[in-house]
Amino acid sequence: MKKRILTGDRPTGKMHLGHFVGSLKNRVKLQDSLEAGLPKYDQFVMIADVQALTDNFDNPQKVRDNVKEVLLDYLAVGIDPAKTTILVQSMIPEIAELTVFYLDLVTLERVLRNPTVKEEIKQKGYGQSLPAGFAMYPISQAADITVFNASLVPVGEDQLPMIEQTREIVRKFNSLYGEVFVEPEALVGEVKRLPGIDGNSKMGKSLGNAIYLSDTEEELRKKVMGMYTDPKRIHVTDPGKVEGNPVFIYHDVFNPDKTEVADLKRRYIEGNVGDIEVKEKLFVALNELLKPIREKRNEFEGKDEILNQILKEGTARAREVAKETMTKVRNAMKIDYFK
Ligand code: ATP
Ligand code: MG
């Protein structure tokens, strides 16, 4: 059997540059990788609306609207529904079912120790009103991965604790009920964590610090020109700091002209170049990257019938796989009463 891959995104907004280098590029590569002339992997990409609702339950319209936006972003970067199964999480109730069984295999203490969840709880300022569903989302994510028995999970660095949690659940399940699941492995993208334009260590949809793949040229220019740089540098002649400076981190990641980048860095350190020139060159590099993505997105925009069909077919195919897994789970857990 081909190795299965599961990855996904929360429909909480449009997709950004962090997604592109953190996971989308990998997905396109993986969907196209061949072995002996045949596709090497069976890739499932999930639009995780159930997970999005854990912190957006009061705004279901936002989640619904963004399912389509995320799909458009997938198609724009080259994820091909003929090669990759694209599915909507909530339309596969087997995932919810498996989540309930997994809740027994994890302690509350363990879930709340998850560093990413801890950080997000702090960011969202939940205090005493933490929704139980939000705290438990790593368990639901373990069900997302294992219901497809995926062995490879392409993700950004912030998701590594989720994969570790999934591996623990798999070990526990297999030792209690028999070998049903494989332990999945994470595959981190070429950039583990792209910082935001505000200098925050992570660009995030919910953080208001993102450059979206669908931003227009004008929006892109405005965002790049307003980017956080070295706060200590006031005059062009002040020597600047390159390390940890998001403008240069982006240059390193997105500007293919390495000689230009080296020259800008040297002059920045010497106090010999203005922020405007450095940012203008970054804008040009980013615009080159985003132009074809924008155009491809435009091709699909408004074609709701085609978009719905892609989701419907992908979800139906994914559900077949999920059902097969649940038959094995019920059998292993001795709850297969009416065969
Ligand atoms: P939200 O703020 O709503 O959580 P997000 O921007 O974090 O949105 P997700 O849908 O949670 O996006 O993440 C989808 C995938 O993209 C995950 O694998 C995540 O690790 C990866 N990812 C998200 N942001 C970045 C980033 N800045 N750099 C690298 N990878 C990222
Ligand atoms: Mg996130």
Asked whether residue 199 is domain-assigned, the answer is no
Which of the listed residues 17, 19, 54, 164 should we mutate to test ligand 1's pocket, taking the one with most ligand atoms within 8 A of CB? 19
Pairing of strands 34-35, 3-9: unpaired
Residues 225 and 85 placed together within one structural domain of the fold: no
Asked whether residue 339 is domain-assigned, the answer is no
Residues 244 and 315 placed together within one structural domain of the fold: no
Residue 2 has what DSSP assignment?
Answer: P
Asked whether residue 259 is domain-assigned, the answer is yes
Chain mean position to CA 171? 25
- Mean pLDDT, residues 136-141 taken together: 97
Residue 193 has pLDDT above 90, yes or no: yes
Ligand closest to Cα of 200 equals 1
What range does the domain containing 310 cover? 3-194+303-332
Kindly report the CATH number assigned to the domain that includes residue 316: 3.40.50.620
Share of the chain above pLDDT 90, in %: 94
Beta carbon of 31 within 6 Å of any ligand 1 atom: no
Question: What is d(CA 60, CA 137) in angstroms, rounded to the nearest whole number?
Answer: 17
Ligand 2: centre distance to CA 120 (Å): 9
Instruction: Assign 207 a pLDDT band (cuts: 50, 70, 90).
Output: confident
Asked whether residue 187 is domain-assigned, the answer is yes
Instruction: Assign 323 a pLDDT band (cuts: 50, 70, 90).
Output: very high
Residue 293 has pLDDT above 90, yes or no: yes
Beta carbon of 159 within 6 Å of any ligand 1 atom: yes
Residues 34 and 107 placed together within one structural domain of the fold: yes
Question: What is d(CA 159, CA 154) in angstroms, rounded to the nearest whole number?
Answer: 9
When divided into structural domains, the chain yields a total of 2
Which of the listed residues 9, 45, 163, 211 should we mutate to test ligand 1's pocket, taking the one with most ligand atoms within 8 A of CB? 9
Residues 57 and 148 placed together within one structural domain of the fold: yes
Residues 290 and 320 placed together within one structural domain of the fold: no
Please report the pLDDT score of residue 79 as a whole number.
98
3-state secondary structure of 39: strand
Instruction: Assign 324 a pLDDT band (cuts: 50, 70, 90).
Output: very high
Residues 236 and 310 placed together within one structural domain of the fold: no
Instruction: Assign 299 a pLDDT band (cuts: 50, 70, 90).
Output: very high
3-state secondary structure of 288: helix
Please report the pLDDT score of residue 309 as a whole number.
98
CB 69 within 8 A of CB 300: no
Angle at 23 between CA 206 and CA 126, to 5 degrees: 25
- Mean pLDDT, residues 266-280 taken together: 96
Q: What does the pLDDT look like over 47-84, one tens digit per residue?
A: 999 999 999 999 999 999 999 999 999 999 999 999 99
Residues 292 and 307 placed together within one structural domain of the fold: no
Kindly report the CATH number assigned to the domain that includes residue 257: 1.10.240.10
Chain mean position to CA 240? 33
Q: What does the pLDDT look like over 112-125, one tens digit per residue?
A: 999 999 999 999 99
Tokens of 88: 């909507």
Instruction: Assign 156 a pLDDT band (cuts: 50, 70, 90).
Output: confident
Ligand 2: centre distance to CA 175 (Å): 31
For 44, 47, 193, 229, 299, the CA distances from 82, given in Å and listed in that order, are 11, 17, 29, 42, 17
Beta carbon of 158 within 6 Å of any ligand 1 atom: yes
Which of the listed residues 7, 14, 21, 23 should we mutate to test ligand 1's pocket, taking the one with most ligand atoms within 8 A of CB? 23
Please report the pLDDT score of residue 112 as a whole number.
93
Instruction: Assign 205 a pLDDT band (cuts: 50, 70, 90).
Output: confident
Residue 1 has pLDDT above 90, yes or no: no
Beta carbon of 223 within 6 Å of any ligand 1 atom: no
Ligand 1: centre distance to CA 81 (Å): 21
Please report the pLDDT score of residue 64 as a whole number.
98
Supply the DSSP string of 294-317, one letter for each residue: HHHHHHHTT-HHHHHHHHHHHHHH
Whole-model pTM: value is 0.95
Please provide the average confidence, as pLDDT, over all residues in the chain. Answer: 96
Instruction: Assign 339 a pLDDT band (cuts: 50, 70, 90).
Output: confident
Residue 313 has pLDDT above 80, yes or no: yes
Residues 100 and 228 placed together within one structural domain of the fold: no
Question: What is d(CA 142, CA 102) in angstroms, rounded to the nearest whole number?
Answer: 8
Q: What does the pLDDT look like over 76-115, one tens digit per residue?
A: 999 999 999 999 999 999 999 999 999 999 999 999 999 9
Pairing of strands 38-39, 34-35: antiparallel
Tokens of 110: 């363990």
Please report the pLDDT score of residue 206 as a whole number.
79
Please report the pLDDT score of residue 52 as a whole number.
97
Residues 167 and 270 placed together within one structural domain of the fold: no
Element (H, E) at 155: strand 152-155
Beta carbon of 19 within 6 Å of any ligand 1 atom: yes
Asked whether residue 44 is domain-assigned, the answer is yes
Residues 146 and 25 placed together within one structural domain of the fold: yes
Residues 164 and 58 placed together within one structural domain of the fold: yes
Asked whether residue 328 is domain-assigned, the answer is yes
Asked whether residue 228 is domain-assigned, the answer is yes
Asked whether residue 16 is domain-assigned, the answer is yes
Please report the pLDDT score of residue 11 as a whole number.
97
Residues 32 and 141 placed together within one structural domain of the fold: yes
